[in-house]
Structure 1
Amino acid sequence: MTTKIALVTGASAGIGEAIARALLDEGWTVYAAARRVDRMAGLADRGAHVLGMDVTDDASMTAGVQRILDECGRIDALVNNAGYGSYGALEEVPMDEARRQFEVNVFGLARLTQLVTPTMRAQHSGRIVNISSMAAHIYEPLGSWYHATKFAVNGLSDSLRLELKPFGIDVVTVQPGGIKSEWAGISADSLEQRSGHGPYATQARTLATMLRGSDANSSEPEVVARAVVAACTAKRPRSKYTIGMGAKPLVAARRVLPDRAMDALLSAAFDQAPKLVERRAKRDAS
């Protein structure tokens, strides 16, 4: 084999698009999957095969994987990138939305892993790269469902790494920090919709301000793409790649600080963030 085959989900924008482009640049055959097929025209122009895929729809996932196997006969890397941030007070988030957050961020990832594993076992090779987050180690008010999914992705990935090692399959978790994308704006919109009025409104306004101002101090999506390329190509990839703005210091702090100290650190950051965003806006306007 001179060309490796990769399936990248959530490839219509942001991190997923950057990953697909980086793998194409490395000479991989890339199947770029997302619901918004029209937004992947640029990837198609660069040589990617685009797939309409919804990770909450089993039929679309099954058909997508089968198409790759029919056309290529193998899959060398699955990059589970599809996901979103659902924010709001736990009291106010409908359970249907909580279930959807898990369907997209966890169960879709798990189902695609189920679908590619038999082929990778037969090959006795393969990489499963799960895009998690530094949110798997820290926490914030009004983000309980999102953080719960990322904790789940890390736990699933750690168990799966040992489970699939005897079959020559490597499981890697990539844990980005702040990354410039449309993710923050979408998360802020969901937060304000659910908790922008009522008992949690003050917290919601603060966190929405933080989310919308986060791009100014965030890393480019290409930082994640480089980590994914390393995870897919290294002879012995790391089990976890922690990259992007703020990720390493916050993950390290969580390892060593007791809960009360970590609560104080995160609360202080939460309290100061709106002031920092306001000062930054005034500076940029001057």
Structure 2
Amino acid sequence: MSKVIVISGIAQGMGREVSLMLATEGYTICGFDIEKKYLDSLSDELSKLNAKFHLEPLSITDSDKLIKFKDTVLKKFGNVDTVVSNVGIGFFGPFEEVDLNKALQCFDINVMGCARLLQAFLPSMRVAKKGKIIVMSSLVGQVPFPFESIYSATKFAIEGMVSSLRYEVTPFGIQVAMIQPAQVSTNFAAKAQKLPEKESPYYDRCVRFINRDNDLIRTATNPKQAAERIVKVIVSNKPKLFNQVDFMSTFFLGLNRFLPQKIKDKILLNHMNINI
């Protein structure tokens, strides 16, 4: 019987690549995204692979539509084996100048969006006494970067929430894993990168940070390479709680565990070219 996977933010980037790879392995692909035109093109690709699938245009902030999506998936396919929480938005800027209303929107999508998705599908997994939950975190969920205070905060929140959840659902046969990418060569970062006003005392360092970040993204792991590693986590019989998909996340998370704070700070500031 085909395994059924649900992926939020499925239409582009890593979510799309994961769905296509798993479709070739016989998985039934279910997912949603706000970008209908990319959903339509993904539908065409999945059809060419003769895959079973169900895709809907949907925002992770719409609780009512998400519940209807869950009901449709369970009615159509009977069960869900794996849920991948992949929706997220970036947020960039000096903390002093952050628009807190926009920051709240970031929390609503990145943290509460994940919570909505998991709450929707956990009951059926618990009853079935099996399932996997895979959540996209980030390197900055443990190693905060300057000018990404809000985004880092959402990923710290994700890691706390999911690590706690793991203890609760393990007795029901549900496995939990997180993915911690540093940079993947997509337009994800570019969507968030907005410079402060030139008069800002943070302007010069923000420019240097963005220029360095863009240099790193050009040589970063691409979505297909990242997806290959994510698929390995999904199909694993016993996935680890924390999983990296690129050298940079493995490197910095390793340093974070062992080095004194002063040395970690120096390495990070030099790496991002923002020493004063």
TM bucket normalised to smaller = over 0.9
- Which residue in the other structure is 2:94 paired with? 89
Deviations 1:96-125 (A, max 9, x none): 111111111111001110110000011111
Aligned residue type for 2:40: A
Q: 5 Å matches for 1:44-59?
A: 44-45=43-44, 46-47=46-47, 48-59=53-64
- Which residue in the other structure is 2:245 paired with? 243
- Which residue in the other structure is 1:17 paired with? 16
With over 3 angstroms needed to count, the CA separation of the structure-2 counterparts of 1:197 and 1:41, relative to structure 1, is farther
- Give yes or no for the alignment of 1:185 onto 2:216: no
- Which residue in the other structure is 1:225 paired with? 227
C-alpha RMSD of the superposition: 1.6
Q: Which runs of 5+ in 1 are unaligned?
A: 274-286
- Which residue in the other structure is 2:142 paired with? 137
Determine the C-alpha separation between the residues in 1 that align with 2:165 and 2:198: 39
Q: 2:159 aligns with which of 154, 157, 164?
A: 154
Aligned residue type for 1:267: L
Deviations 1:65-112 (A, max 9, x none): 111012112111110000011111111111111111111111100111
With over 3 angstroms needed to count, the CA separation of the structure-2 counterparts of 1:157 and 1:216, relative to structure 1, is same
- Which residue in the other structure is 2:121 paired with? 116
Determine the C-alpha separation between the residues in 1 that align with 2:37 and 2:109: 20
- Give yes or no for the alignment of 1:42 onto 2:44: no
Q: CA deviation at 1:221?
A: 1.2
User: Does structure 2 retain, via aligned residues, the 8 Å contact 1:92–1:195?
Assistant: no
User: Does structure 1 retain, via aligned residues, the 8 Å contact 2:209–2:273?
Assistant: no
- Which residue in the other structure is 1:259 paired with? 261
Q: CA deviation at 1:214?
A: 2.6
Q: CA deviation at 1:167?
A: 0.3
Q: Give the 3-state SS of the residue equivalent to 1:103 in structure 2.
A: helix
Aligned residue type for 2:218: A
Aligned residue type for 2:94: A
Q: 2:207 aligns with which of 173, 197, 205?
A: 205
User: Does structure 2 retain, via aligned residues, the 8 Å contact 1:52–1:60?
Assistant: no
Q: Provide the identity percentage.
A: 27
Aligned residue type for 2:256: R
- Which residue in the other structure is 1:65 paired with? 70
Which deviates further from its counterpart, 97-106 or 200-209? Answer: 200-209
- Give yes or no for the alignment of 1:169 onto 2:168: no
Deviations 1:206-239 (A, max 9, x none): 1221233332220011233223322222221222
TM-score in terms of structure 2 length? 0.92
TM-score in terms of structure 1 length? 0.89
Determine the C-alpha separation between the residues in 2 that align with 1:111 and 1:41: 24
With over 3 angstroms needed to count, the CA separation of the structure-2 counterparts of 1:196 and 1:105, relative to structure 1, is farther
User: Does structure 1 retain, via aligned residues, the 8 Å contact 2:39–2:56?
Assistant: no
User: Does structure 1 retain, via aligned residues, the 8 Å contact 2:58–2:65?
Assistant: yes
- Which residue in the other structure is 2:50 paired with? none
Aligned residue type for 1:208: I
Aligned residue type for 1:247: S
User: Does structure 2 retain, via aligned residues, the 8 Å contact 1:89–1:195?
Assistant: no
Q: Give the 3-state SS of the residue equivalent to 1:176 in structure 2.
A: coil
- Which residue in the other structure is 1:128 paired with? 133
User: Does structure 1 retain, via aligned residues, the 8 Å contact 2:129–2:172?
Assistant: yes
With over 3 angstroms needed to count, the CA separation of the structure-2 counterparts of 1:17 and 1:78, relative to structure 1, is same
- Which residue in the other structure is 1:283 paired with? none
Q: CA deviation at 1:195?
A: 5.2
